[in-house]
Amino acid sequence: MKVLNLKFVFAFLVAAGAAGNASASYLTCSATVNGAPSAVVDQFPASLDYELTVNDAWCDWCATQDAGHWCHLGCSQGQSSSVVMNETDAPLAAFVGAPIAWVSTNPSWAETFPFLLGGGSVTTPVSFTVASYADCATRARGLPVPALPDANGVVTFTDEYKVFWNLDGVPPYYAACQAELKCLPPQGQTRTLGYFKTHPAAVDACLSHGAIDLGFMNVSSSATALGLLYASPAKYADGTKRSAYDQARVLLARQLLVAICNGRVFGSSPADASLIGDAVAALVGTSCGNMNWLQGQLDAFNNSGDTGENFYGSAAPGSYADPTVKTAGACQ
């Protein structure tokens, strides 16, 4: 908290003394990001301009009081003032990564926080750039109360701007207002079989949308999904060799599961809209050649956007063995 200039404190104490059990200050505030109470960012880098405004609203408050209240004397003569004892926005400062340089209307010889006269206001601008979606997610994750991506990867950051007044401690003594920022993940990204095997949070997010119908089985839990992703195409768990048919089905089912999760988690879909449905139909069919061909198509889709940022792991794809298994002629 800053110490106000003594002349201002004296003037405020005189007014507060006349008030008895009420302060002679009353403030309102507003917070905006890019000129609005909320903003959605889906293109990066993104320039963000916050404006934190505090207003003298002493006479607005006075208008709600009884006609005999002492405050009407000053307001009827156009004389009102409020002292800003403190301003805080800890979430925004943490998100920016630097203290907020509060603006004051006081003369140069006065202290920082403003003494607002006659409905006056003062706005503190806070401008910075979010370099990428990963940058936004990292900033939000590092907040005192972390803001994590939701099941669709959307990062929501809410700042909380507060202005304080009132030397006598009688409520109300502060006003609070918020501005909301949403960062959307890049569109068109995908992740491969290896990614979902090693990022269970992404599998959880995928299954949060409901069970997945793979034709010959329903995947309704993350444990079942991971079991399929880690299943050996060549052998059963007991070491028994799979038939060519079972091998083709496992390979296709794994890539289909990953493709569906890419749609649910990253909002991506194959250029051929019929590919998902065709794969489900193939899994209840008997054509190994059809399953092998569709497995290759889905594998290509799952690899097509496997670059850039992600929000369940690092900013670059992880390193893992190529999950593709050559199955040409396996059903012959």
Q: What is the pLDDT of residues 22-38, one digit of tens each?
A: 456 788 899 999 999 99
d(CA 267, CA 151): 11
Of 28, 30, 100, the residue nearest 60 (C-alpha): 28
Same domain, 167 and 207: no
Examine residue 114 and say whether the peptide bond preceding it is cis (omega within 30 degrees of 0). Answer: no
Assess if residue 53 is contained within a domain. yes
In degrees rounded to 5, what are phi and psi of residue 223? -65, -40
- State how many domains the chain has: 2
- Write down how long the chain is: 332
Q: How confident is the model at residue 308 (pLDDT cuts 50, 70, 90)?
A: low
Q: What is the average per-residue pLDDT within 130-144?
A: 89
Q: Which of 138, 162, 183 is the last residue of a domain?
A: 183
d(CA 179, CA 160): 7
Q: How confident is the model at residue 167 (pLDDT cuts 50, 70, 90)?
A: low
pTM of the model: 0.61
* Stretch (H or E) spanning 141: helix 133-141
Same domain, 209 and 144: no
Percentage of residues of the chain with pLDDT beyond 70: 79
Of 166, 84, 71, 171, the residue nearest 123 (C-alpha): 84
CA atoms within 13 A on the CB side of 200: 7
pLDDT digits (tens, 9 = 90+) for 180-230: 999 988 777 889 999 999 888 889 989 999 999 999 999 999 999 999 999
Q: Which domain holds residue 148?
A: 6-183
Lowest model confidence (mean pLDDT) among 123-132, 190-199, 234-243, 308-317: 308-317
Same domain, 75 and 179: yes
Assess if residue 60 is contained within a domain. yes
Radius of gyration of the chain (CA): 30
Assess if residue 328 is contained within a domain. no
Percentage of residues of the chain with pLDDT beyond 90: 48
Same domain, 149 and 268: no
- Rounded-to-10 torsion of CA 6, 101, 50, 176: -40
